[in-house]
Every structure is written in structure tokens, then in C-alpha cells.
């Protein structure tokens, strides 16, 4: 699809977000299963539930603006998920792997924060207030997930992994 105006760019961003969330729905259970820290495992499992809601939210926004959000692959998320898979394969179960999983998960969160921030800005510029509000909710959730991962890392995992 040629990107000829901001509406095209916004629709492309929605497709990318939808694909990214789909990939995360598949990746998060693997990451949670590899985690040793009960707090990390719980955070990843909780974020899976949130991600499933975020996927539905992107679908709703797409439907509301007349965009088809399926049929696209987010290559950025594909690479981040591949990195996470590599960490799981290379790591030995334990706190060092937990620290690596947190790093992989935070890279994913930062990617999503950037993507949702862009989508919110585009929706606002296009006057799509409801879409902007729904996407902002997801942006806020991604920020909270990132903060939770930081707390888990700084609260115990990194220190114990260093010992």
C-alpha cells in the first residue's frame, strides 16, 4: 500500500501494531515459562492478558477507521522476539537468565512505547479522538509494564544474578 498521506501512515502503523501484539501473544508464554523469579513469571503472565486486550483494542480502532489490520508482519517485533528466543536458548535457567529476559522484555516494551506514541500522535492529528484515547490507554499500559520490569530487575534479580 503506498503511503500517500497521514491516514495511510496511520493505517500502516495499526497493521504493524496488530502484528506486533499477535507475535507477543505467542512469545510471552515462552518467556514466562523460562523465568525463575516468581515476580517476573507473574509479570509476564499478567502482561499476556493485557496484550490480548491490546490486540482487541487495535482491531477496534482499525474497524472504527475502516482499516484492515491483518495481513502484515511487523519485522521489528519479529526481530525482538527472535532475540528473546535466543536468550532463552542460550541461557541456563536461573537469575542470570531472568536478567536477560527482563532486558529482552524491556526492549520489546520500548519498541511498543515508540510505536504507540507515534500512533497516538497520528490519530490526534487526524482528529480521531476515540482512536487516540484507546491507543493512549495501551501506551500507558506499556509504560507501566516497563516500570514493573525495572522494579523486578532492580528489586532483586540483577543483584542476585551478580552474586
Read out DSSP for 22-64? HHHHHHHHHHHHH--SHHHHHHHHHHHHHHHHHHHHHHHHHHH
The mean pLDDT value for 140-158 works out to: 94
The mean pLDDT value for 37-52 works out to: 96
Name, in order, each residue with C-beta under 8 angstroms of 54's C-beta and a sequence gap of 6 or more: 21, 138, 141
pLDDT for 16 equals: 97
Q: Tell whether the torsion through CA atoms of 158, 33, 49 and 130 is positive or negative.
A: positive
pLDDT for 1 equals: 65
pLDDT for 78 equals: 98
Residue pair 38/105 in contact by the 8 Å Cβ criterion = no
pLDDT for 136 equals: 98
Which cell numbers in the block locate residue 57? 483494542
**What DSSP character marks residue 91?**
S
**What DSSP character marks residue 71?**
S
Q: In this structure, how many other beta carbons lie within 10 angstroms of the beta carbon of residue 86? A: 12
pTM of the full predicted structure? 0.94
pLDDT for 97 equals: 95
pLDDT for 91 equals: 82
pLDDT for 29 equals: 97
Q: Domain spanning 6-162: which superfamily? A: Ferritin, core subunit, four-helix bundle (1.20.1260.10)
3-state SS class at 11: helix
Where do we find the cell 536478567?
99
pLDDT for 92 equals: 84
Q: Which helix (H) or strand (E) holds 144?
A: helix 129-152
Rounded distance, CA 70 to CA 105, Å? 24
pLDDT(153) > 70: yes
**Span 83-112, pLDDT tens digits:** 999 999 998 888 899 999 999 999 999 999
**Span 68-83, pLDDT tens digits:** 999 899 999 999 999 9
pLDDT for 41 equals: 96
pLDDT(15) > 70: yes
Q: Phi-psi category of 66—alpha, beta or left, where left has phi over 0 and alpha has psi -120 to 50?
A: left
Amino acid at each position: 500500500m503506498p503511503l500517500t498521506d497521514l491516514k495511510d501512515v496511520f493505517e500502516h502503523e495499526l497493521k504493524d501494531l496488530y502484528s506486533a501484539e499477535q507475535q507477543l501473544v505467542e512469545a510471552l508464554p515462552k518467556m514466562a515459562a523460562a523465568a525463575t523469579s516468581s515476580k517476573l513469571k507473574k509479570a509476564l503472565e499478567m502482561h499476556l492478558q493485557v496484550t490480548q486486550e491490546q490486540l482487541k483494542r487495535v482491531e477496534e480502532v482499525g474497524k472504527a477507521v475502516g482499516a484492515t489490520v491483518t495481513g502484515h508482519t511487523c519485522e521489528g517485533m519479529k526481530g525482538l522476539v527472535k532475540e528473546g528466543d535466543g536468550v532463552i536458548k542460550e541461557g541456563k535457567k536461573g537469575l542470570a537468565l531472568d536478567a536477560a529476559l527482563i532486558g529482552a522484555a524491556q526492549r520489546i516494551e520500548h519498541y511498543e512505547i515508540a510505536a504507540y506514541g507515534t500512533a497516538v500522535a497520528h490519530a490526534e492529528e487526524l482528529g480521531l479522538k476515540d482512536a487516540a484515547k484507546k491507543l493512549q490507554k495501551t501506551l500507558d499500559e506499556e509504560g507501566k509494564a516497563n516500570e514493573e520490569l525495572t522494579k523486578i530487575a532492580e528489586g532483586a534479580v540483577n543483584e542476585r544474578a551478580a552474586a
